Amino acid sequence: MNVGSKCRTCREPAIIDLPRHNANFCAEHFLELCRRQVVKAIEKYHLLEADDKILVAVSGGKDSLAVWDLLLELGYRADGLYVGLGIGDYSDVSGQYAKRFAEERGLPLITIDLRGEYGYDIPTAARATRRVPCSACGLSKRHLFDKAALDGGYTALVTGHNLDDEAAVLLGNTMRWEVDYLARQLPKLEARNGFPKKVKPLVRLTERETAAWCVVRGIDYLVDECPMAVGNKHLEYKGTLNAMEAASPGSKAAFYLNFLERMAPLLAGHRADDQHTLRTCDSCGAPSSGEVCAFCRLVDTASAHERVPVELLTRGKR
């Protein structure tokens, strides 16, 4: 039995310590803190309107289920979208978590199966196109998320990117001074021709906090990491940032949130206006820089390739 730390708000026994807030919280006040951070993100960055029709991209992991749960708690209307990526058992299990969450709450969940509907899966796409798996996955998800949101008449596409995700991307882009990427690294991308509004309401919560939200709320989620992501740069950046965070609590939040506050406005002029350079894909009609968009080219190549089992690409990774 813990007899030490007390909740900063009510002095009852704490269930979590949050060094970046220099405070401990009981379950009730931890949840309140999370809600407050999400509301603050929504208001500060003008992410959502009360009447937005929201589509949440759901993976079955902690972040996407937490953001769906939080938005519903805050009174928003939000449906879910799950894309079956065909990454072996990992995808089978992740789909079960997403579907169970939706079923238990009576929520609509749109499902798309890459293999069933487009004739490929991520391991095969990675091998066929010689892309790293996360690149093939990201390209597929971005296209399908946008399409599902526009087809369904949704006014906002929500993803579960958290503070750690954004800080890690920021570190990677800063290390390479990718000015155009830095200029676009915002919690909201406005709707524009062929693209829905995209927002990230969890950018003020760390992934330890989103995981804790799920534990406290009794949300069952897929804990295991995608087998194809093991060893990627993004995870290395997160490890580096967490080492810094341990030595100096609050560093991650300061790095990312101060970027939004102080640096992003200075980069506004670098945000490329591609509305005049984009055309529509001859094959699917989505925005594209060429005659055929990157997604349709990937589908063509990957669906013609012999199926590649995930084990072939993950062997020796752990």
Q: Which is nearer to other proteins, 42 or 137 (CB)?
A: 137
Closest separation in Å from C-beta 137 to other proteins: 7
Q: Which residues contact 98 (CB under 8 A, 6 or more apart)?
A: 58, 59, 60, 64, 65, 80, 82, 109
The residues that touch other proteins, with contacts defined as CB under 8 A, are 1-5, 14-17, 19, 24, 27, 61-63, 132, 134-135, 137-138, 164-165, 168-169, 206-208, 210-212, 215-216, 223-226, 228-229, 232, 234-235, 238-239, 242-243, 245-246, 318
Instruction: Assess contact for 159 and 200: CB atoms under 8 A.
Output: yes
Tell me the two tokens of residue 170.
């920021």
Nearer to other proteins, 11 or 318 (CB): 318
Q: Is 292 helix (H, G, I), strand (E, B) or coil?
A: coil
- The torsion angle over the Cα atoms of residues 148, 52, 165 and 297, rounded to 10 degrees, is 20
Closer to other proteins by Cβ: residue 225 or 282:
225
CB of 225 to other proteins, least distance (A): 6
**Least CB distance to other proteins at residue 61 (A):** 6
Distance, CA of 130 to CA of 73 (rounded, Å): 42
Of 157, 147, 141, 153, which is closest to residue 48 (Cα–Cα)? 157
Comparison of 52 and 60: residue with beta carbon closer to other proteins = 60
Q: Among residues 104, 136, 93, which one has the least CA distance to residue 223?
A: 93
Our CB check for other proteins shows the closer of 17 and 73 to be 17
CB of 131 to other proteins, least distance (A): 9
We find the least distance from the C-beta atom of residue 105 to other proteins, in angstroms, to be 20
| DSSP code at position 158 | E
Task: Give min distance, CB of 142 to other proteins, in A.
Answer: 10
How far apart are CB 15 and other proteins at their closest, in Å? 4
CB of 17 to other proteins, least distance (A): 4
* Angle formed by the axes of helices 251-258 and 233-247, nearest 10°: 120
- Inter-residue contact 247 to 98 (CB < 8 Å): no
**Nearest-angstrom CA–CA distance, 89 and 60:** 13
Side-chain half-sphere CA neighbours of 314 within 13 A: 19
Q: Which is nearer to other proteins, 48 or 206 (CB)?
A: 206
Kindly tell me which of 4 and 106 has the beta carbon lying closer to other proteins: 4
Could you tell me which residues come within 8 angstroms of residue 195 by beta carbon, excluding any fewer than 6 positions away? 146, 150, 189, 287
Provide, rounded to whole angstroms, the least separation between the CB of residue 128 and other proteins.
17
The nearer residue to other proteins, 120 or 221, going by C-beta atoms, is 221
Q: Which is nearer to other proteins, 17 or 282 (CB)?
A: 17
Which residues, 6 or more positions from 196, have their beta carbon under 8 angstroms from its beta carbon?
A: 55, 146, 149, 150, 154, 155, 156, 157
